[in-house]
Copies of this chain bind each other. A is one copy, B any other.
Amino acid sequence: MNTMEAITARTSYRGTYQSTKVLKEHLKQIVKAGLAAPSGCNKQTVSLIAVDDEELLNKLHSVIQPPIGETAPAMICVLTRKIIAYRDKCYHVQDYAAAIENMLLAIVELGYQSCWIEGHITDEDHIGDQMAKILDVPEEYDLVAFLPVGIAEEECKSTKKLPFEQRAWFNGFRKDF
């Protein structure tokens, strides 16, 4: 699968997963893809924890309410540190978003599916903080998102999007390609 194919094939998969384990070597490749993303002023604000231990997964999913991705045999937890790049500028959101996108593409290339879960765990109920505690993550890190990883059991459906010409232009605003 080339890059354009992976980019096109990626969907936000919200169905159930097969119980087949994700190879540890694959989890390592996915995480490596995440860390290979660029970061503002190379501050490398992103850290990652891959989880496939069943007991640990159960503990993590016990705090993720309402449940999402709970049938996946693995997950990647995304940690960030608000390291200043220069003056008062901090690019930690851009950094982890780029890392997540790389991982989503690597996941698809390796034959798995996933979904970027962020708002669900960073809302007022602070699920991400509870997950961080379970993983013994110190306070200087924020757990801001997680990616379930596994083989899809259901069909992957693409999200409906606005037509190309409403979002992409050539040599000026609203000038068609």
Q: Which of B24, B41, B164 contacts A119 (CB 8 A)?
A: B41
- Report B-chain residues with C-beta under 8 Å of the C-beta of A109: 2-4
What's the nearest-Cβ distance from chain B to residue A175, in Å?
8
What's the nearest-Cβ distance from chain B to residue A68, in Å?
14
**Identical subunits present:** 2
Supposing A172-B49, A173-B135 touch, asked if A10 and B38 sit within 8 A by C-beta, the answer is yes
Question: By CB atoms of chain B within 10 A, which of A46, A51, A168 has the most?
Answer: A168
Q: Which of B116, B137, B159, B173 contacts A49 (CB 8 A)?
A: B173
Q: Using a CB–CB distance below 8 Å, which chain A residues touch chain B?
A: 1-4, 6-8, 10, 12, 24, 27-29, 31-38, 40-42, 44, 46-53, 56, 85-86, 89, 91, 93-95, 97-98, 100-102, 104-106, 108-109, 116, 118-119, 123, 135-138, 159-162, 164, 167-173, 177
